[in-house]
Amino acid sequence: QAGISHPSWLTVNKKRNFTVKATGAINPSIRKEEAKVVDAVEVTQLQKPITAYCRCWKSETFPLCDGTHVKHNKEFGDNVGPLVLKKPKE
């Protein structure tokens, strides 16, 4: 297709180092009304032995991870993943 062969977004995107360079904002839509999105976790309040927290800014359940990082990584050639909090079973 003509649109793909010209110096367009798609052409630039073909260079892997463009994709990897990450030269832009990383939070597309989460709590944009806040100047800085900070979340606190009281670790003693964690209910489950393992809880994954999102670092890709695309989870529907932010601050929790819902697995959307897989789609993000595939789409942009990225390699991000969650922070996993572990607590011992009682």
Instruction: Give the residue numbers marked as catalytic.
Output: 36
Does the N-terminal peptide bond of residue 63 adopt cis geometry, omega within 30 degrees of 0? yes
Residue 78 touching ligand FES (CB under 6 A): no
Residue 87 touching ligand FES (CB under 6 A): no
Select from 18, 19, 30, 55 the one that contacts ligand FES (CB under 6 A): 55
- Of ligand FES, a second copy, none, which one sits near residue 77, judging by CB under 5 to 8 A according to partner kind? a second copy
- Of a second copy, ligand FES, none, which one sits near residue 15, judging by CB under 5 to 8 A according to partner kind? none
* Cα distances (angstroms) measured from residue 41 to each of 1, 31, 65: 49, 17, 14
- Of a second copy, ligand FES, none, which one sits near residue 68, judging by CB under 5 to 8 A according to partner kind? ligand FES
How far is it, in rounded angstroms, from Cα 78 to Cα 90?
Answer: 37
Phi, psi angles (nearest 5°) of residue 53: -110, 135
